[in-house]
Structures are given as C-alpha cells and as structure tokens.
Amino acid sequence: MKPTSTAEAISAELAAILPAEPVPAAVHSVFRTSVNLLWQERLVTLLDASRPLYPFSVRLSGALPSLTVGEPALLSREAVLFPRQGVAVGLSRAAVQSLSLFSLVQPLQTPPSEALQALRETILTHGRPEGFAPLLFLLEDEPCPFPDNPYVRYAAARIPALITALRQRDALAAAEAAYSIAGCGIGLTPSADDFLCGVMTALLASALACGQERDWLPLTDAMARRAAPRTNLISAAFLRQAACGQLSSDVLSFIQTLYSRVLSLRLPSAAMNVIAFGETSGTDILTGIYLGQKNFPN
C-alpha cells in the first residue's frame, strides 16, 4: 500500500519503539485535529498540521485521514496503515524530535521570582478561567474574580495536602493526594489531570535545575501511577508522560523560556501558545507549573 499522506514529524519516544514489521492496532478515538490509536495498551496519536507535537505522536503535513473508531490499523517504522480504507501515512521522511526534558541541550536554571509573577499575570490576563485557574486565588484565600465551579472548590480543599507532601518529599503522601483529585474537572482531559501534569513538569524542571532529578523521578512516577487509574485512557497517558518528563513541544518550549536566569520577553507568548491548547487544558497545565514551582522545596 503506497502512502497517501506524509508525516512531517514524529516524537523520538515513538520512533524508538516502532517495530520494523507491521503490527496490529486499532483506532481508539477520533477528534477534529487528532486520532488516537490503541497499540499494546499504549496510545499512539496522529495530529494534523495545526497541532504541536506530543510524546508518542506523529504530526502530518496536512489534514488527518477520515477514520472511524474501532477500525484496524497496522504500525511500523515505515508507515501507519489503515487497510479497510486503503490509507497509509508514510513515516520514513518524518523529522524525529525528542520531547524529553532530559534531552535539552541548554541547561535549565531556577526561574527568578519576576518570571513566576509574569506567568501568573499571563494566566490571569489570557487564561481560560473555567477550569483550575481560580486556584491562584483560592489557595491564597483571596477574593477570586474568576467564575466559581464545584470542581476547583473540591480540589482546592485537597491540594494543600499535595503541597505538604511535595515539600516533605513524601512520595506515598503525594501519590494519595494526586489520587484524591484525579479525574476531577471539565474536558476530555479533566482539569485536575492537566493541573497534575503541570505540577509534575515543574517538579522535574526544578529538580533538573538543582541537579536533583534522580531524587524526584520516583515521586512523580508514584503520583502518576496512583492517579492514572482514576481517569480516562487519554488523560492517564498524559499523566504517565509528564511523570517522566515527556512533554508536548509547546510546553517544552515554554519550560525552556521560564527556566532561564533572566525574565525573557518571550515568556508571555510562549505561555499563550500553551493556553491555546484545548478549552482549559493549557491554562490548567500552566497553573500547575506555577504552583509546582512556587512550592518546590528550596
């Protein structure tokens, strides 16, 4: 079967595990700009050209093929095949891009307080307030100008236990605190899960900046393992990826901008690239990054 469309980019994490010979998979879910394939209990995502690259994903040079949930697929290093429709996505010319925090060439530095304040202001000015952004006020017991919602109120009562566990580097307590809010909130990936992804991202970025990543990976792994069964398959995949420092390209670019020695003029635009993702997901991720970094033990 000849390729009918071409991938322009593939995550290094996916390229490393794709087999030489085609293996069976199936279409798990179909959205306007993405398609998830289920392969050996792992999700592999096809993205259209408008989306940033994600871990274990392929970004096409154009539109996604028209697919239906449940139809069979075949995966290999050379192509993604959909035999029922005679569609093939060629992978041989795709640029391989690592999306791991641990593959960055430029070392991360603890961000100055001015950078964190600039992130907070960007969330307040441009973020989507319907998710977990009200935590910026609720956790500091300030009057909140954002619309209230029961999910963020529920989580706000439980997140202090997570913050305490992180400050004490207590993996078991942090895992239980993550479990207590996992799956909470609106959206395909619930707000609490996106928030937890942001928190774990900040923990690992901060640990890298301090040369302590080996100390923190077991903690983020424990958080993701405990939280993942309480949410859906797509959101669970994001939690597991964030726990080991695998991020979407827009979040990775933002982290490189935030974790530098000086406040960069690019920070608001890098943050807004993240905010653009989903209904509230980008804002919830940034809220998690902000609170994760603010409460990282010094």
pLDDT grade, residue 298 (50/70/90)?
low
SS3 233: helix
Q: Express each pLDDT in 76-105 by its tens digit.
A: 999 999 999 889 999 999 999 999 999 998
Tokens 């409460």 belong to residue: 295
Query: Are the C-beta atoms of 123 and 283 separated by less than 8 Å?
Result: yes
182 within 8 A of 240, measured Cβ to Cβ:
no
Question: Looking at residue 1, what is its pLDDT?
Answer: 53
Q: How far apart are CA 149 and CA 216, in angstroms?
A: 32
- 177-231, pLDDT tens digit by residue? 999 999 999 888 999 999 999 999 999 999 999 999 889 999 999 999 999 999 9
CA distance 290 to 219: 18
The model's pTM is: 0.95
Q: Which two tokens stand for residue 83?
A: 């035999």
C-alpha distances (whole Å) from 29 to each of 34, 36, 82, 250 are 8, 5, 14, 23
If we measure between CA atoms, which residue out of 143, 144, 179, 148 comes closest to residue 161? 179
Over residues 99-124, mean pLDDT = 93
